[in-house]
Amino acid sequence: MTLNLRSTTALCAALTVCLLLAVPGNVPGLGADARFTLAVFVLATCAWIGTSIDDTYIALGAGLALTVTGVISSDTLFGTLGDATVWLLICAFVLAAAVSRTGLAGRAAVFLVSGARTVRQLVHLTTAALVVTAFAVPATSGRAALALPVFLALAKVLADRKRLVVMLALLFPTVILLSAVATLIGAGAHLITVSVLWEATGQHIGFTEWLLLGLPLAVASSHLAAELVLLTTTRRADRRGPVHITPEQIQRHNEQPVTGPWSQAEKRCALLMATVVLLWCSEPLHRVPPALVALIGAVIASSPALGTVRLKDALKTVPWSLLLFMAATMAMGVALTDSGAAKWLVSGLPTGAAPVVFLAVVIAVSTAAHLVLQSRSARSSVLVPLVVAAAAGVGVNPVAAALASTAAAGFCHTLPASAKPVTLFAQIPGTPTYTPRDLLRLSAFLAPLTAALVLLFAVAVWPLLGISVTR
């Protein structure tokens, strides 16, 4: 099999760096463990960029190499799978499976969308609904799968207005990706960021604190993006026409009832989800860890008497590959920090840069990183340890820098292959959808807008919420 140019370039870069690191005299002040860690880190990053090998396989190979050579202990490698954030994600998927089984999503769609009378109202009500799903369904790909039937129902209703269907096809993945920052369980990258911060600085970001910092940004960026999608994919004439979507029209494309009396299963599931989210948000009052709350909720949601889904069926929806990837990359982050490799990497950076300039560079690099690393979790695995180490050297609060990098990495709309939700909504047989040209046109405006918004929150909003720019 002939390697393409991208693979060849990545391989050559990786081998060159590894050869340089193999000679101790080339990197004075860098110990053997740090040199080996950097070599593994470079090889893994280049493999993520330039090969079609599964991301999880690469991460596991890197973690295994670091463990076998003694850079990290086996307890460190295997202990990451028992991390509370991993359990939080597992239980959140079980809860999401319970919600999906009841049909509550269809009722929510009717409640919001059927009230729209204009195109702009439809866009912003849909956006609000998609933001709310971040609290119930973990990971952007899971939310995209849950939202797809709702989009298809809307597409059928608006079949005679093709431009509006294309606009909605682009709106759904755009909002799903940008609103993920609202909650800790919104993306696996968030859990990696929290783990790196804990290992490197000892600072813990809980569910409530992330919600306080991320939800306002998610709401602002989602609704601004919705306006951009509307303006870049429709004409004024398209936006003038009235919209009237009835519950009966949505019901034709849903298996479960979307109107009428609630079933006992729907009532139990809605009450359970409301209780779980309330307990997550009130963690500072009762001090019960979010992972334990999620585990209790998952046990109830899958119980024979009160549950709406069997446990074995719910566990089939858990992305075990993502969890293994997260665990392995957490171990890589520990190795970068403990070996001194991360500190050495950023030791040559100028220390006189203004905090705002440093944050702007971090945000710009994180925004553009999806062009190289398509996996959101891989981007955080590579960037966050370096950002945290560099922030300490220039006097910037590592928490602010890590959150800004992770939030900016949520932009990944440039190409159909840049993110799974974008890919999913770009390939819908029998339904009009967007083209690569539509994505590029949107990205030309959305990339600088989201980057500027994250910078604004980092320097002006988050300090009011307790996360200062400087240490």
Listed in sequence order, the DSSP H helices in 140-289 are 140-157, 162-179, 188-201, 207-233, 236-240, 247-251, 264-281, 283-286
What are 233-253's pLDDT values in tens digits?
Answer: 888 877 777 777 777 767 766
What are 330-340's pLDDT values in tens digits?
Answer: 888 888 878 87
Q: Which amino acid is at 82?
A: G
Judge whether residue 1 has pLDDT over 50. no
Listed in sequence order, the residues at least 6 apart from 95 whose beta carbon sits closer than 8 Å to its beta carbon are: 136, 272, 273, 276, 294, 297, 298, 301
Q: Which residues pair with 396 in a beta bridge?
A: 470
Supply the pLDDT for residue 206.
Answer: 83
Give the confidence band of 2 by pLDDT, cuts at 50, 70, 90: very low
Burial of 130 (0-12, 13-18, 19+ CB in 10 A): buried
Supply the pLDDT for residue 445.
Answer: 92
Of 284-288, 325-329, 371-375, 463-467, where does the model show the most confidence? 463-467
What are 40-72's pLDDT values in tens digits?
Answer: 888 888 787 777 788 888 889 989 999 998 888
Supply the pLDDT for residue 223.
Answer: 94
Supply the pLDDT for residue 354.
Answer: 82
Judge whether residue 295 has pLDDT over 50. yes
Supply the pLDDT for residue 139.
Answer: 74
Q: Which string of b and e fits 420-438 if b means at least 16 CB within 10 Å?
A: bbbbbbbeeeebbbbeeeb
CB 424 within 8 A of CB 144: yes
The CB density around residue 51, as the number of other CB atoms within 10 Å, is 16
Note the pTM of the prediction, 2 decimals: 0.80
User: How far is the C-alpha of 258 from the C-alpha of 32, rounded, in Å?
Assistant: 62
Supply the pLDDT for residue 3.
Answer: 47
The region of weakest confidence among 142-146, 350-354, 367-371 is 350-354
Tokens of 261: 């009396």
Q: pLDDT averaged over the chain?
A: 82
Supply the pLDDT for residue 8.
Answer: 67
Q: Which amino acid is at 356?
A: V
Percent of the chain topping pLDDT 70:
89
Supply the pLDDT for residue 208.
Answer: 85
Supply the pLDDT for residue 229.
Answer: 92
* Helix, strand, coil share of the chain (percent; to 5): 75, 0, 25
What are 355-368's pLDDT values in tens digits?
Answer: 888 899 899 988 88
Supply the pLDDT for residue 452.
Answer: 94
Supply the pLDDT for residue 403.
Answer: 93
Q: What is the domain partition of the chain in residue ranges?
A: 1-71, 72-465
The residue to which tokens 């952007």 are assigned? 140
What are 146-200's pLDDT values in tens digits?
Answer: 777 778 778 877 878 888 888 999 999 999 999 999 988 888 888 888 888 888 7
What are 404-424's pLDDT values in tens digits?
Answer: 999 998 888 887 767 778 877
* DSSP SS3 for 118: strand
Q: Which amino acid is at 431?
A: T
Could you give the C-alpha distances from 278 to 14, 129, 290, in angstroms and in order?
47, 18, 11
Integer-rounded Cα Rg, in Å, for the chain is: 23
CB 443 within 8 A of CB 414: yes
User: How far is the C-alpha of 19 from the C-alpha of 39, rounded, in Å?
Assistant: 9
417 compared with 134, residue with greater pLDDT: 134
Q: How far is CA 75 from the centre of its chain?
A: 27
Tokens of 112: 């919001």
User: How far is the C-alpha of 389 from the C-alpha of 385, rounded, in Å?
Assistant: 6
User: How far is the C-alpha of 412 from the C-alpha of 370, rounded, in Å?
Assistant: 6
Q: How far is CA 406 from the centre of its chain?
A: 8
Nearest CA among 412, 407, 409, 418 for reference residue 365: 409
* DSSP SS3 for 160: coil
